[in-house]
Structure 1
Amino acid sequence: MAIKITGFYQLPHQTMPELVDFDEVFDTSFMRKYTRFRTFEKFLQGSRLKIENQRDFEALPEEKMDAWVRKATKFSSWQEMLDTATDKYVMHKNM
């Protein structure tokens, strides 16, 4: 079952946030560089946390996501991973 997760991001040159698919923010090159997974979906599936949809993802306690991020990535928290991915996404989008 495919898991589609999105988030709203306000890029520096925009006045309104835009809806962005996490598969774009956490693209294959990012996932390969910083995790042991090829896709964000595989990363979520590998966590063994019950994340089947957007609602499950949003309801997940950040402490659980932080623990999984520390175990499966080069980051110390979910926020650090998200910030790094977002920065790279914005840089790529502005090229």
Structure 2
Amino acid sequence: MIRITGLDEMQRRLNDIQRRAENLSGSVSFDELFPPEFMREHTDFTEIGEFIEASGYEVNSTEDFKRIPDAEWDAHVAARTTFRSWEEMQRQAGQEYVARRLGL
């Protein structure tokens, strides 16, 4: 007879991940999406605010950020991060955010 152990613990872990996944809806701030660990690993900066400030654009609101020309922002991202574009940077940050929230 083969005895399998640890199934209860695995079930508890899966239930915890499911509960966390159900709480992932809603908006996420830049500080949550781009924490210092992410910024240190992938950019020349330790905070997203420093990264934005270094772009030379004054950003005090979402509207200010949306007015930055895409090509110029992508050039800033490519020059100061490990990413080729803002889309790529956001995608990686999103994946890491979800993994953190799920406890993976």
> How many residues of Structure 1 are paired with residues of Structure 2 in the alignment?
83
Off by >2 Å, runs of 4+ in structure 1: none
Residue 18 of structure 1 aligns to a residue in which SS? coil
Q: Does 1:43 align with 2:51?
A: yes
Q: Counterpart of 1:42 in structure 2: which amino acid?
A: E
Q: Does 1:73 align with 2:52?
A: no
Residue 84 of structure 2 aligns to a residue in which SS? coil
Structure richer in helix, relative to its length: 2
TM-score relative to the length of structure 2: 0.73
Q: Mark the runs of 5 or more structure 1 residues left unpaired by the alignment.
A: 1-12
Q: Judge which range, 56-65 or 68-77, deviates more.
A: 56-65
**Higher Cα radius of gyration:** 2
* 2:99 corresponding residue in structure 1: 91
Structure richer in strand, relative to its length: 1
Q: Mark the runs of 5 or more structure 2 residues left unpaired by the alignment.
A: 1-20
Please state how far the C-alpha of 1:59 moved relative to its aligned partner.
Answer: 2.1
Cα-Cα RMSD: 1.8
* 1:25 corresponding residue in structure 2: 33
Q: Counterpart of 1:27 in structure 2: which amino acid?
A: P
Q: Does 1:57 align with 2:65?
A: yes
* 2:14 corresponding residue in structure 1: none
Q: Judge which range, 23-32 or 43-52, deviates more.
A: 43-52
